[in-house]
Chains A and B, each alone.
Chain A
Amino acid sequence: MGGHLNINHLLFLGHGALWTIGLSLIALIGGGIAGFVIALARISPLRSVRLLSAAYVQLIQGTPLLVILFLGYFGLAAIGLKVSPLAAAGASLTLYVAAYLGEIWRGSIQSVPKPQWEAAEGLALSRTQRMMKVILPQAIRIATPPTVGFMVQIIKNTSLASVVGFVELMRSGQIVNNSLFEPFAIYAIIAVVYFAMCYPLSLFSQRLERRLGRGRADFLAPA
């Protein structure tokens, strides 16, 4: 027991930080794909599809991520489905991210002015062509700053996965602290590492917003 913070501790924390990045990527890629489907379902011409996807979004948005994580890990285990902490955390975060990104993207798609749809319709483009060639390229511009902003939230929220025993940055900090009892130093390091991961994204998001404020999609200039 006791001892001083040494290189092994730092390596352990570094390993945890990598898993934080890994879990974030799983959540963002899985949630991004599912979120895209949710966004399209929310504006589907079929009423049943719209209602179902809206219910999903409401359900997830009205539930704390912590509860979803507990359900995914302890809840499933209680009914006989044993899942690893990584699977439970990855799946819970994916469900969570899908609901939020789905809403951000639905809003972005719908904020493309309606006359753009009509102009595309008037040119005899099919619904898929209107979506892919006219609406989505404009919606992506609108969606990019809030999406990047939400990514920052997700990186921070992966720390909740520590409660199901998944050893990411937060959990690895707790483990190191259990042997060293230097909470201030260790959690300060953890905070700095989270900040180092999130700040560049925040900066990027701000830059995007400034750029979009000018009105031209330079970064999206078509080939």
Chain B
Amino acid sequence: MQQITSPATPIVSLRDVQKSFGPLRVLDGVSFAVERGEVLAVIGRSGSGKSTALRCIDRFEKIDCGEIIVCGHRVDLPDVDLRALRQDVGIVFQSYNLFPHLTIEQNITLAPCSVKRMSASRAKELAHKVLAQVGLEEKLHAYPEQLSGGQQQRAAIARSLAMQPKVMLFDEVTSALDPELTAEVLKVIEQLARDGMTMVMVTHEMGFAKGIADRIVFMHRGKVHETGSASILTSPKTPELVQFVGTGNLKS
């Protein structure tokens, strides 16, 4: 599969994506694209399909029809090289999913060493660097359970960064955290945005989405219901988005 990397080509593009779980149509013709360096926030009620859309990008879900191209990989085709795709895409989950039997350093060096065949010493340097980026240098030798939720999530972000992905996906990464811990994780993501990382994030943090996102996608009943710059949150056009931002539906 050839890599298409001309600046005009989006890093991620979904075109008319459909996906059903049994009789339930979760994605009903979803299309959006993310340009290099862009931060896209996907918002919507629980069950609107936003997390599923995100998981389709990294092919944790197979789609029924439509087209998904991520960093030149045809994700919708059955013969997509998953390991190549996942080296280009970093994903961070709501439940952190650090490996509990490994130290933070080992969590971070595992993939660079086993997938990219990086030497142990170089991988350790890298671990140091990415942990510094998320402000956790001192936790190098701690086990995940010794960290707070916010620290675990920052370590998970560092683990993804160590693979030097071209795009990062964030799946409600602060939903399990209290406001204080949420703030420390959001600060890290903000810094990544300033550094020019391409990001797609599913989030319930409206204030944060407004502050950081170049573009917002509002999903409703498996469709992109409204999309535009962050200003759509303050002046929504569709009644559904009016209701969504109006009811203070920040958490669900």
Chain A residues at the B interface, C-beta cutoff of 8 Å: 115-116, 118-126, 129, 133-134, 137-138, 141, 215-217, 220, 222
- B97 near A123 with CB under 8 A, answer no
A123-B163, A124-B111, A222-B102 known; A115 vs B86 contact (CB < 8 Å): no
Does B246 count as interface, using CB distance less than 8 angstroms? Answer: no
Chain B's closest residue to A215 (CB) is B145
Instruction: Enumerate B21-51 residues with CB–CB distance to A below 8 Å.
Output: none
> Shortest CB–CB separation between residue B112 and chain A, in angstroms?
9
Q: Which residues in B have their C-beta under 8 angstroms from that of A121?
A: 60, 82, 86
Q: Which residues in B have their C-beta under 8 angstroms from that of A137?
A: 101
A126 to B116, CA, bound (A): 12
- B93 near A119 with CB under 8 A, answer yes
Q: Which of B84, B106, B156, B163 contacts A222 (CB 8 A)?
A: B106
- A116 near B86 with CB under 8 A, answer no
Does B235 count as interface, using CB distance less than 8 angstroms? Answer: no
Q: Which of B84, B100, B110, B156 contacts A133 (CB 8 A)?
A: B110
Chain B's closest residue to A138 (CB) is B101
Q: Which residues in A have their C-beta under 8 angstroms from that of B145?
A: 215-216
A123 to B60, CA, bound (A): 12
Chain B residues at the A interface, C-beta cutoff of 8 Å: 58, 60, 82-84, 86-87, 89-91, 93, 95, 97-103, 106, 110-111, 114-115, 143, 145, 156, 159-160, 163
A125 to B82, CA, bound (A): 10
- A124 near B60 with CB under 8 A, answer no
Chain B's closest residue to A134 (CB) is B99
- B97 near A124 with CB under 8 A, answer no
Chain B's closest residue to A130 (CB) is B114
> Shortest CB–CB separation between residue B52 and chain A, in angstroms?
14
- A122 near B99 with CB under 8 A, answer no
Chain A's closest residue to B145 (CB) is A215
Q: A119-B93, A124-B86 are in contact. List 15 more A-B contacts (CB 8 A).
A: A118-B93, A122-B58, A122-B86, A123-B160, A124-B84, A125-B110, A125-B111, A133-B110, A133-B114, A134-B110, A138-B99, A216-B145, A222-B102, A222-B103, A222-B106
Q: Which residues in A have their C-beta under 8 angstroms from that of B114?
A: 125-126, 129, 133
- A124 near B163 with CB under 8 A, answer yes
A126 to B100, CA, bound (A): 19
Q: Which residues in A have their C-beta under 8 angstroms from that of B97?
A: 115-116, 118-119
- A123 near B110 with CB under 8 A, answer yes
A123-B159, A222-B106 known; A118 vs B101 contact (CB < 8 Å): no
Q: Which residues in A have their C-beta under 8 angstroms from that of B163?
A: 123-124
> Shortest CB–CB separation between residue A148 and chain B, in angstroms?
19
- B93 near A123 with CB under 8 A, answer no
A126 to B117, CA, bound (A): 13
A215 to B100, CA, bound (A): 9
> Shortest CB–CB separation between residue B85 and chain A, in angstroms?
8
- A123 near B111 with CB under 8 A, answer yes
A220 to B102, CA, bound (A): 10
CB-CB nearest 9 A-B residue pairs:
A119-B97, A123-B111, A124-B86, A122-B91, A115-B97, A124-B87, A124-B115, A137-B101, A124-B83
> Shortest CB–CB separation between residue A131 and chain B, in angstroms?
12
A121-B60, A123-B111 known; A116 vs B83 contact (CB < 8 Å): no
A215 to B146, CA, bound (A): 11
Q: Which residues in B have their C-beta under 8 angstroms from that of A133?
A: 110, 114
Q: Which of B91, B93, B101 contacts A141 (CB 8 A)?
A: B101
A116 to B156, CA, bound (A): 12
The CB with the most chain B CB atoms within 10 A, among A120, A124, A129, is that of A124
